[in-house]
Each structure stands twice: as C-alpha cells, then as structure tokens.
Structure 1
Amino acid sequence: MERRKILIATKTYPSISTKYQETVCTAGVLLDDDEKSVQWIDYWDILPTITKNVILKLDWFQEFKMKIKDIAKIRCILTFGYGNRKDYDAFLEYLLKFNVECVVDVRMVPRAWSRKWYGDKIKIFCELNNIEYISKTALGNTSGKENWIPINQEEADKALHEIAQIAQMGNVLLLCAEMNPNRCHRKEVADCLGNLLSIPVKHLE
C-alpha cells in the first residue's frame, strides 16, 4: 500500500456522519521523499470517539506535528526589493533559505537600471534554480508612492487570486525595485495575499 507524508496544519470541528458517526476535515501540506512541500491537500478523518472499534483509515498517511515555525517556513508570502544590488547573491540566498516555489514580479514594467533585473533575465536565473518566475503587471503601481493604486482594479483582483492559488502550493516571493518594503507598494499587495490565505507575510531586505 502506498504511503505518503502529510504535514498536518489544521483540523475542523467534528461533523456528524451517517456512515462513520463522526468525521473531521483535516488539511496539510503533502511532502515528497525529501520532505519538501508539493501541494496543499485536505481529506476526511474518521473519529474513534463513538466506539473503540472504529479505526482511523489513514494507512497511507504519516502525520507530523507542525510547529509554528514550520508553518511559516512552508507557507508564507515573502517580499524582496533588489534596490541597487549589482548581483543575485542576496536574492538567491533568500530563495533557497525560504524554499521559494515562485517569484512574482509586481512591477508595472519589468525593467530596471541594470539589465540584470529585467524580467527576462530574472526568469532565466530563476529557471536555472528550478524556481518559477511570473510577471504580473496587473499588480503594478500607478501612484508613484508606497500606496498601491493598480492600473485596473478588476485585473488586479484577478491576479491576486491567481497568485493566491499558487501560494497554496508553496512559498511565493513578491519582487519589486524598492529595497525598503515600507516605501514600496508590494507591502500592500503582500498584505492582500496574506489576508486571502490567512498566512503570514515576511519582508526580506
């Protein structure tokens, strides 16, 4: 019988079941053989609270207790601004440290003072490190300041929900130009995603 590893994140309050008397929805992160997150998954447990003869049918699951720091490590919205950096050293360090699955470029125009930070160059760099790169110009900012005013609110909302779907699979890093997150619209974008998914936001500098 196939066995899989799931890092349990949450369980719901028990529900009445006509077949098993009580069940509870359980959710967590499916892990591969190297214990890296693969996808968010949920399933139903059978609760042995009514009779001792009822057994949890979880033969193919191996449960792990999840600490708060583990949750933050596996599912978290990250942000990073390259600023005046001339190389990818700090960028790559963060990508590896936080197991980033996808880099989302939130610049309205994916260009920079250095060709190195152009979207196409970042995409090549990310792919060399087995990390997905996506440019979401709909999440760009027209205000010229830290307050976020998207080009089109409807398109921005659509982009947020698309990134939220990706973020359920693993850590996402929002990339922009300004090094200080308090002076960049990505902070507001990250907060919107964090609220959508009820997961923490961490700004990397």
Structure 2
Amino acid sequence: MPRVMTTNATVRCPHGGVGTSRAVGPRAARIAGGDVLLDGDQGTLTCTNVPPCGSYQLRSMGLTEVTAAGRKVMLVTDFVRGATGYPLTITESHPVHDRTVADPAEDDQPTVVVTPPAAPFSTVTFGSTGQPAVLPFTFTLAGAYPLRWLLFKAGRLDSTSDWTGPLTVPVTVTGAELVALGPGLHAFVVTAVNRRGRAAFAEGKVTVT
C-alpha cells in the first residue's frame, strides 16, 4: 500500500512552488511526528507563476478504506491539484511495510500532448482581416487506466469529464476571451488523471499583446 500522507510530506507544483499542508480539525494520529492528513484538509503553495497555483484541498480518491474521525485517510498517490489545475507531486519519507499485491495501474503514467503548444494574439489587430476569431488547441490524452480530465482556462476550471480511452479534447479560445484577459502570457491547461491518481498535463500558451 502507498504511504499515508502527513504534514511532513513534500508537496510541489510544476512551477517550483512548495506546499504547506494543514490538518483541519483535531488530529490524534501521527506518523514520524507529522499529522496524518484526511479528506478535506488544505494547503498553500509558494508558487510565483501567473496566476499562482496558490492553494490546494485534499480529496480522497477512495484508494483506501482506512478512515479517521469519519474521513478517508489521504495517500501520497491520491490526485491533488493546485487552484489553477496543475497536478501536484507529493513525496513522503516515513517507512512503510507493504504486503499488497502489485497493481499494474500504479505504474501507468498518462500522457497529454497539445498542438500547437503556443500562439500569439494581438488585441490591436483583433477583428481585422487575417486575425483569427478563435485560437484552436488540440489536446491528445493517452493512458492504460484512464479516469478523468480537467480543463482550466487561464487559471479557472472550465470543464471536466470522465476519460475512458484514447481521447482528443478540442479547446477553442475566442478573441473576445483573450481581449478580456488582457496583455500577458495565458495558459490553457488540460490535466489527465488515471485510476491510481497518477496525472499528467499539457498547456497551450497564448501571448496577448
């Protein structure tokens, strides 16, 4: 069985931000001096990306039946995302005695590829001849044990759906959306999660001038 997640766990976002997890409510169980974390606990990140990943909330995927205070215990393999949709990596160092049978799903790493990876957009020429009314991105998802995908547009959850096999997710960003976002670099992120919490993401980037 994977390690139980505690407040000692190292949590990082893809931009190098470091997380600090916080147990919400009284806690009796501790491992190696760290509070055992449960479904519903929270954390903050030092991410400096724009927009920053900022915070996260722990949500159990039901990978264990172990509970404490009526809430599921978190495992390091549970999928955890930052506020802007990027998957977080979680590492624990406390010892564990694992007698479970190996599950092939635990070694599966999904992939997400986006085409094109980046595009420019000018608010000055928006609406003129030759300036596209929409920017199309195509995200291609693959993995042996798919579960779910999430789309974040410029840091906000836009849509989420079950992922049951090889999948192409078309994402169109309108010129009006980009004008509203204003100048700067904006990312449109699709994150794919498999049944054991492993995740991957790709981001289509638009530079608005």
State the TM-score, normalizing by the size of structure 1.
Answer: 0.24
Tell which structure's C-alpha radius of gyration is larger.
1
Q: RCO greater where, 1 or 2, for CA within 8 Å and sep 6 or more?
A: 1
Higher helix share: 1
